[in-house]
Chain A
Amino acid sequence: MSESPIVYLVDDDASVLRSVGRLIRGGGYTVNAYGSAREFLAEFRRPIQPCCLVLDISMPGLSGIELQRRLFEKQLDLPIIFITGHGDVPTTVRAMKSGAVDFLTKPFEDSDLLQAVRQALHKDKLARRDRLERTQIKTEIDSLTSRENQVLRLVVTGMLNKQIAGTLGTCEKTIKVHRGRVMKKMQVQSLAELVRKAERAGLFVSGPVAGLRATTSQKPQASAM
């Protein structure tokens, strides 16, 4: 069953841990149960197969919310289904904002939990694919020369070759060669495709084009006015 997804379960209540574990196992998943957040944090390594975390919020020592934060800090983000005995609104909001898949109040129906687990695993599968793609794009970008990189960053902003040549102080023909090499290295056929990859690579988060993004984001604000 090494291929079956793994559901990690953390709850300080032994009784809950045992029964919920049984339930999830009944759903056909491998269950790794832990009595405390600290124990889990110490042992957790991301497995090959999809996984998710069913996490109790109220625990002595490290609480569920804190564990979520720690995982995020460690970039070990995996889908989390919170289970809690008392679901107060601020905690729920904080948990969901931090990317929780679901928030179940004890006691819960088995179908709700298994549904949430399924969703979480699916989410993990997507995230896993996304992570893979981004790694590939990063590899492609890394293969670009610095000039090609410069050209790429300007191309995706929608500049014409002539404008780019002006900006970089070279001739349009040279830019055209660089651009062709970039398209090839990035394994794209169209500009639209290139732009999507550049965005996936997060090139828009920082860099000289940030100002442009700000301008574009003003638009919906203006329309709202």
Chain B
Amino acid sequence: MRTQSGNGELVGYGERASDLTGNAPVIWGSGPYQFCTFFNRRWLSFAGQPLTELQQGWFGEVHPDDDSVCLQTHRRAFIRRQPFCLEYRVRDPKGGYRWIRDEGRPSFGPDGQFAGYMGSCVDITRQKELEEDLKSIDDELVCSERRYRAVVEDQTELICRFLPDGTFTFVNDAYCRYFGLTPEELMGRNLWRLISPYHREKAREFVESLTAEHPVATIEYPVVNNGEPRWHQWTDRGFFDEAGRAIEFQAVGRDITERKQAEEALRESEVKFRSIFDLNIVPLIYWNADGQVTDANDAYLELVGYSREELKRGKVRWDRMTPAEDRHLDENALKELENGQRFATPFEKHYRRKDGRLVPVLIGAATFPGFTDRGVAFAVDMSAQKQLESELRDEKALNSAIISSLSGHLAVIDRAGRIIAVNDSWVQFAAKGAGAKDKVDVGANYLEVCAKALRCGETTTQEALSGIRAVLTGGRPGFSMQYQCESAPVQWFEMRVEPLRHHEGGAVISHIEVTNRIRAEIEAENHRRELAHVARVTMLGELTASIAHELNQPLTAMLSNAQAAQRLLSKKKNPLPVIRDILADIAADGRRAGEVIHRLRSLLEKGEPQKAPLNVNALIEQTLRLIHSEMIIRRVAVEKQLHPTVPAVLGDRVQLQQVILNLIVNAAEAMTECPLPERKVVLSTFSNAEKVGIRVRDFGTGLDPTYREKIFEPFFTTKDHGMGVGLWINRAIIEAHSGELLAVNNDDKGCTFDVMLPVHKEEGV
């Protein structure tokens, strides 16, 4: 192609060409639209019209026969970015028409963007005659167009051109493929419709932002294609006319969804990391292998005692903060990272803070992807941890010292009953019972070795096991029992089971020998019983007169009856009917005397306490029979207000009788000074669901407030006679019955003693 590039000299208004027939061609240029944007002088001299007019088109000068083909050719060329070559006749100002060949080629910017046309018009009036010569030039042009077209069509990028109103003027195959539409379907349609309403405005704004000064810009935005969210990047170029008005736009786009997603993920992870970084929960740094801390969060700075200012000035270096003896740890970690490990094995080392203090830290380092000599690292302050560890160690040492120093046998078991810790004392104790063949220390199942280790009977073992299980399952907050060890001499142990305050449960079991305590308890109990007996005997001693009277009555009756019978036998003729009555009376009186003796003997006996269900009303009646005479002698009236249906209590008849007897006698004694009509003891019984009460009320002088607290003390007495153990024994007896003995002064006269005993509940009820 024999084109001649213009000299680039732009022509001004009013300049004219002198000769169109010369060899110099007319050079024109256009924007992306088809209007010419410049001509050289040659064109002006040829056209003889000012530029403004020319820009309206030169069609006026075109030969009417060539007008339409000229216009079509131009338009088609522009739309397709095709070079064109057109021959047509232009009116010669000098008269007549001259043939010109108008050639135009699209020009592209360095980035391949269409920039318009550069063209030339050559007077071919003469050449027309030489068509044969020109034929080859035409062929070349066709080939070039094809090549160019192929290049554009083969682009994977989406390319389109559109008018400012959005009408497509060009789409490439990729564009069509991407949107799933044919070029025919797209051409002439509106671009904006393809863009989702959401982004349409934004896209429009973007296109409108292009100006003649800044005709090219790139935008990225999300779109929805076939219901799938995608990211697009569009590089748009605007073509503007002389006045800066947009003529056409060209858009080159590509789908950047994958890149965008990768970017998004990266940004997200960056944001996440940064937020962790800035959260200052964990001291974090960016490091490099040179020993530099390139960035650090406040937590880290606080840990090492440096300021952010010092960090910025590069004063914070992890290598310098590491004491010499820990350097090898850092080196090991760096080696791991150099060898391609993304994360170095976390390790403990020390930092020397700015203030010189050493801080234990746990370091974990990782490299940035693609690097082995830089990355991020955390440094956790281990001071508290170390402190705790040290304390725990101390505590453990202390605990084990305590445990091993205990003389009691101690075993700690887990939830399943397996022994997890024992003291020496336990091992020795249990081994003795279990013999050498069973393992009794750590690892053994306590529940299995229990029977042998305890050396006690089946019942005891069962009780112990169920107690331990109850504590292990949380059924009981604790458990303790005493058991007798089958050894010689007999040993008593107390087993205590405490739940282990451990998240996995378990229990602490201790066995403490309590033989001495049990012995002391038994001895104390014996003493108490003996004292109670002594008190009982003493009391009966004081009641001798009335007891004698009790016996005297039946004896008197028997004697009198017998003598009356003798007299009858010597006098009367048929005394038998009367004698029969007399004998019956004598027998009855004999039994009566026997009962008195029996009652006395039971009180005088020193038997083991025997607990049985008792009716307190019956108990009171029996007691009253014993002191019937005493009350008469003392001139004290007895009033009974017994509740007819009191529940039974579990108790020892003799001991409870002793208490009631003592309280009644005390009540009678308290009224010795009272005028006769006032001497009265009121005995009443009452009950609720839990307790049965026996109340002994007198109308005597009442309790001296000075002695109120002392009356239950042993050997305290306000009487001239007596040991002063009565009330003390009473209370001991009642407490041994799990009851209470209470004393209060009455509002009017005398005082009231209440014996409160628990209601006896049948087993299993």
Binding site for B on A (CB under 8 A): 12-13, 15-16, 18-20, 22-23, 25-27, 58-61, 63, 83, 85-86, 88, 106-110, 113
Cα distance A20–B762 in the bound complex, in angstroms: 50
B557 touches A13 (CB 8 A): yes
Residue of A nearest to B628 (CB): A60
Nearest-Cβ distance from residue A148 to partner chain B, whole angstroms: 50
Given contacts A15-B557, A109-B559, A110-B563, 11 further A-B contacts (CB under 8 A): A15-B554, A19-B556, A22-B560, A25-B564, A26-B567, A26-B571, A85-B548, A86-B545, A86-B546, A106-B552, A107-B560
0/1 per residue, B450-485, Cβ < 8 Å to A?
Answer: 000000000000000000000000000000000000
Pairwise interchain contact B582-A106, C-beta atoms closer than 8 A: no
B592 touches A15 (CB 8 A): yes
In the assembled complex, the Cα of A198 lies from the Cα of B694 at a distance in Å of: 67
A106 touches B555 (CB 8 A): yes
29 contacts between A and B (CB under 8 A): A13-B553, A13-B557, A15-B554, A15-B557, A15-B585, A16-B560, A18-B557, A18-B585, A19-B557, A19-B558, A19-B559, A19-B561, A19-B582, A22-B582, A23-B561, A58-B549, A58-B629, A58-B632, A60-B631, A83-B556, A85-B552, A86-B546, A88-B545, A106-B552, A106-B555, A107-B552, A108-B556, A109-B559, A110-B564
- Contacting residues, chain A, for B629 (C-beta < 8 A): 58, 85
Q: Return A75 CB to nearest CB of chain B, in Å.
A: 24
Complex contacts, B398 vs chain A, CB 8 Å: none
A85-B553, A85-B556 given as contacts; is B633 within 8 A of A109 (CB)?
Answer: no
> A106-B555, A108-B556 are known contacts. Are A22 and B633 too (CB-CB below 8 A)?
no
A105 and chain B: residue at smallest CB distance: B552
Question: Which residues of the other chain, A, contact B568 by a CB distance below 8 angstroms?
Answer: 26
Residue B531, interface by CB 8 Å:
no
Cβ-defined contact, B632 with A15, below 8 A: no
7 nearest CB pairs, A to B? A85-B549, A110-B563, A19-B560, A85-B552, A22-B564, A106-B556, A107-B556
B614-666, CB < 8 A from A: 629, 631-633, 635, 637
Output the least CB separation between B53 and chain A (Å).
159
State the majority secondary structure of interface residues on B. Answer: helix
Instruction: Assess whether B553 is in contact with A15, with CB atoms less than 8 Å apart.
Output: yes
Q: Which of B546, B557, B560, B578 lies at the interface centre, i.e. has the most chain A CB atoms within 10 A of its CB?
A: B560
Contact A16-B553, Cβ < 8 Å, known A59-B632, A85-B548, A86-B548: yes
Whether B589 sits at the interface, judged by CB under 8 Å, is yes
Q: B545 to chain A: which residues have CB within 8 Å?
A: 86, 88
Q: Does residue B181 face the partner (Cβ distance < 8 Å to A)?
A: no
Whether B567 lies near A23 (C-beta < 8 A) is yes
CA distance A18 to B633 in the complex (A): 22
Q: A26-B564, A106-B552, A109-B563 are in contact. Are A16 and B632 (CB under 8 A)?
A: no
Cα distance A93–B568 in the bound complex, in angstroms: 35
Q: Which residue of chain A has its CB nearest to the CB of B560?
A: A19
Q: Which residues of A contact B557 (CB under 8 A)?
A: 13, 15-16, 18-20
Q: Which of B499-552 contact A (CB under 8 A)?
A: 545-546, 548-549, 552
Q: How distant is the Cα of A86 from the Cα of B552 in the complex, in angstroms?
A: 9
Question: In whole Å, how far is A176's beta carbon from the nearest beta carbon of chain B?
Answer: 60
B677 → chain A closest CB, angstroms = 10
- Which B residues form the contact surface with A (CB < 8 A)? 545-546, 548-549, 552-561, 563-564, 566-568, 571, 578, 582, 585, 588-589, 592, 629, 631-633, 635, 637
| Contact across chains for B559 and A107 when beta carbons are under 8 A apart | yes
Shortest Cβ distance from B147 into chain A, in angstroms?
150
The answer to whether B633 and A110 touch across the interface, beta carbons within 8 angstroms, is no
Within the complex, what minimum Cβ distance (angstroms) separates A117 from chain B? 13
Q: How far is the CA of A144 from the CA of B732 in the complex (A)?
A: 81
List chain B residues, Cβ under 8 A from A107. Answer: 552, 555-556, 558-560
Closest to A106 in B: B556
In the complex, the chain A residue whose C-beta lies closest to that of B592 is A15
The majority secondary structure among interface residues of chain A is loop
Expressed in whole angstroms, the Cα–Cα distance for A18 and B637 within the complex equals 25
With CB as the reference atom, state the residue of chain B lying closest to A18.
Answer: B585
Is the beta-carbon distance between A60 and B564 smaller than 8 angstroms? no
Question: Does A19 contact B552, Cβ atoms closer than 8 Å?
Answer: no
Residue of A nearest to B554 (CB): A15
Smallest beta-carbon distance A115→chain B, Å:
13
Which residue on chain A has the smallest CB distance to residue B637?
A60
A19 CA to B545 CA in the complex, in Å? 23
CB contacts (< 8 Å) of A83 on chain B: these are: 556
CB of A7, distance to nearest CB on chain B (Å): 13
Name which residue of chain B comes closest to A63, CB basis.
Answer: B635
**A155 vs chain B, min Cβ distance (A):** 50
Residue among A15, A60, A108, A109 with the highest chain B CB neighbour number at 10 A? A15
Docked Cα-Cα span, A113 to B567, in Å, equals: 14
With contacts A22-B561, A107-B560, A110-B563 taken as known, whether A86 is within 8 angstroms of B555 at the C-beta atoms is no
B583 to chain A, nearest CB (A): 12
Closest B residue, CB atoms, query A14: B557
CB neighbours of B564 from chain A (8 A): 19, 22-23, 25-26, 110
Q: Kindly list chain B residues whose C-beta atoms are within 8 Å of the C-beta of A59.
A: 632
Instruction: Tell me whether A19 and B585 are in contact (CB under 8 A).
Output: yes
Given known pairs A15-B589, A58-B632, A63-B635, the reply for A23 and B549 (CB within 8 Å) is: no
CB contacts (< 8 Å) of A63 on chain B: these are 635
- Roughly how many angstroms separate A16 CA and B550 CA in the complex, as a whole number? 12
Distance, CA A83 to CA B560, complexed state (A): 13
Q: Is A86 touching B633 in the complex (CB atoms < 8 A)?
A: yes
Residue of A nearest to B633 (CB): A58
B660 nearest CB across to chain A (Å)? 19
> How distant is A106 from chain B, measured CB to nearest CB, in Å?
4
Contacts of B555 in A (CB 8 A): 106-107
Residues of A with C-beta under 8 A to B585: 15, 18-19
Bound-state CA distance A19–B578 (Å) is 11
Q: Which residue of B lies closest to A60 (CB)?
A: B632
C-alpha spacing A108/B555, complex, angstroms: 10
Nearest residue in A to B544 (C-beta to C-beta)? A86
Q: Which residues of B contact A85 (CB under 8 A)?
A: 548-549, 552-553, 556, 629
Most A CB atoms within 10 A — which of B556, B558, B568, B582?
A: B556
CB closest residue in chain B, given A88: B545
B588 touches A15 (CB 8 A): yes
The closest CB in chain A to the CB of B546 belongs to: A86
**Bound: A90/B629 CA distance, A:** 18
A58 to B633, CA, bound (A): 6
Give the complex CA separation of A22 and B564 in angstroms.
6
Collect the chain A residues with CB atoms within 8 Å of residue B631's CB: 60
Complex CA–CA separation, A110 to B564 (angstroms): 8
Task: Looking at the assembled complex, report how far the CB atom of B133 sits from the nearest CB atom of chain A, in whole angstroms.
Answer: 172
CB distance from B549 to the nearest CB of A (A): 4
A58 to chain B: which residues have CB within 8 Å?
Answer: 549, 629, 632-633
Alpha-carbon gap, A86 to B545, bound state (A)? 7
Which of B549, B564, B578 is packed against the most chain A CB atoms within 10 Å?
Answer: B564
Which residue of chain B has the shortest Cβ distance to A86 in the bound complex? B545
Query: Which residues of chain A come closer than 8 Å to B559, judged between CB atoms?
Result: 19, 107-110
Least CB separation from B559: chain A residue: A107
Assess the B567–A110 pair: CB atoms within 8 A: yes
Residues of A within 8 A of B563 (CB): 23, 109-110
* A163 CA to B693 CA, complexed, in Å: 85
Per the bound structure, the CA–CA distance linking A58 and B549 in Å amounts to: 9
Docked Cα-Cα span, A107 to B554, in Å, equals: 9
Q: How far is the CB of B354 from chain A (nearest CB, A)?
A: 104
Pair A106/B553 contact, Cβ less than 8 Å: yes
A27 CA to B548 CA in the complex, in Å? 28
Q: Could you tell me the distance between the alpha carbons of A16 and B586 in the complex, rounded to whole angstroms?
A: 11
Kindly provide the distance from the CB of A99 to the nearest chain B CB, expressed in whole angstroms: 22
B-chain residues with CB within 8 Å of residue A20 when the two chains form the complex: 556-557, 560
Contacts of A60 in B (CB 8 A): 631-632, 637
Complex: A223 Cα to B624 Cα, angstroms: 59
List chain A residues, Cβ under 8 A from B561. Answer: 18-19, 22-23
In the bound complex, CA of A174 to CA of B232 (Å): 179
Chain B contacts for A113, CB-based, 8 A: 560
A152 → chain B, closest Cβ, in Å? Answer: 46
